[in-house]
C-alpha cells in the first residue's frame, strides 16, 4: 500500500499564484494522493520521488533498506529519519554495509537518532551481501513487471492491493536469494515507491505526468 502517516503538520507557506487564467496552480492547490499530508517533507517525497521509475542501483538498494526499516512504522517516520539512517548505514553503500558485523550492529543500537531494531540492522548487512551477489539486481527487480512500469488507474489508495502478484513474485525471488524483511506487503510498497507500479490515484496531479 502507499505510505501512511499518522500526523499532519502545518502546511508550508506558498505564495499565491497570479490571478490569471493561465497561471499554474500553486503547490498547495495541487490535488495529491490522499495518503500525502501537507507536511512539506511528505509533499516533496510524493511530488518528486514516489512512483518515479528508477533504475539507479544505489537508489533501488536504499529504498529496499528503507522499506525494511518501515515495517511496523509509518513512512513519515522513515522520511524524518532518512538522513540519520543514511549517515548510520554508511550512505546505503552495499559494499560498505556488506562488511558490517555484530559489533557494528551493537554500536548502532546505542544511537538514539536511529530506529534501534537489532533485526533490521542485521538485515541491512545481510541484504547488502545478497544484493552484491546478484549478477543484475536492477534487472531482477524490474523483471516482475516485465521491465516496464505497470500503470494503474485507481480512484482511491485503498483500491490498490496490499500485496499484488508482482509483489508476491518479488518477495519470492528476494527470499530465494537470501534477503530478509522482504515480505509481499513490503515489496508492494517498494514497487510503488520505485515506479515499477505507478499507483498515484487518478485525481492526483502526478498521475497524468507519470501515466504518460
- The enclosing H or E element of 197 equals strand 197-198
Active-site entry in 35, 42, 62, 67: 67
CA distance 62 to 51: 15
Half-sphere exposure of 99 (CA within 13 A, CB side): 4
CA–CA gap between residue 59 and residue 11 (Å, rounded): 28
Q: Name the region of 146 (left: φ>0; alpha: ψ -120 to 50; beta: rest).
A: left
**Beta partners for 150?**
197
Q: Which of 35, 45, 154, 190 is catalytic?
A: 45
Residue 168 appears among annotated catalytic residues: no
Question: Does the annotation mark 49 as catalytic?
Answer: no
Q: Cell match 533498506: residue? A: 65
Of the residues 35, 42, 50, 75, only one is catalytic, namely 75
Element (H, E) at 166: helix 165-176
Look up 154 and say whether it is catalytic.
Answer: no
**Catalytic residue numbers, as ranges:** 45, 67, 75
Amino acid at each position: 500500500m502507499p505510505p501512511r502517516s499518522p500526523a499532519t503538520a502545518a502546511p508550508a507557506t506558498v505564495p499565491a499564484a497570479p490571478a490569471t487564467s493561465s497561471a499554474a496552480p500553486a503547490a498547495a492547490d495541487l490535488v495529491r494522493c490522499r495518503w500525502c499530508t501537507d507536511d512539506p517533507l511528505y509533499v516533496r517525497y510524493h511530488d518528486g520521488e514516489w512512483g518515479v521509475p528508477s533504475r539507479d542501483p544505489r537508489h533501488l538498494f536504499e529504498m529496499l533498506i528503507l522499506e525494511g526499516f518501515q515495517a511496523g512504522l509509518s513512512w513519515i517516520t522513515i522520511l524524518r529519519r532518512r538522513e540519520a539512517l543514511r549517515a548510520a548505514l554508511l550512505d546505503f553503500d552495499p559494499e560498505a554495509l556488506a562488511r558490517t558485523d555484530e559489533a557494528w550492529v551493537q554500536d548502532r543500537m546505542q544511537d538514539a537518532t536511529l530506529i534501534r531494531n537489532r533485526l533490521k540492522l542485521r538485515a541491512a548487512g545481510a541484504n547488502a551481501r545478497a544484493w552484491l551477489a546478484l549478477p543484475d539486481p536492477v534487472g531482477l527487480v524490474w523483471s516482475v513487471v516485465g521491465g516496464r512500469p505497470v500503470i494503474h488507474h485507481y480512484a482511491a489508495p485503498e483500491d490498490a492491493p496490499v500485496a499484488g502478484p508482482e509483489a508476491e513474485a518479488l518477495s519470492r525471488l528476494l527470499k530465494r536469494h537470501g534477503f530478509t524483511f522482504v515480505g509481499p506487503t513490503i515489496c508492494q510498497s517498494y514497487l510503488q515507491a520505485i515506479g515499477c507500479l505507478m499507483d498515484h490515484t487518478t485525481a492526483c496531479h502526478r498521475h497524468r505526468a507519470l501515466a504518460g
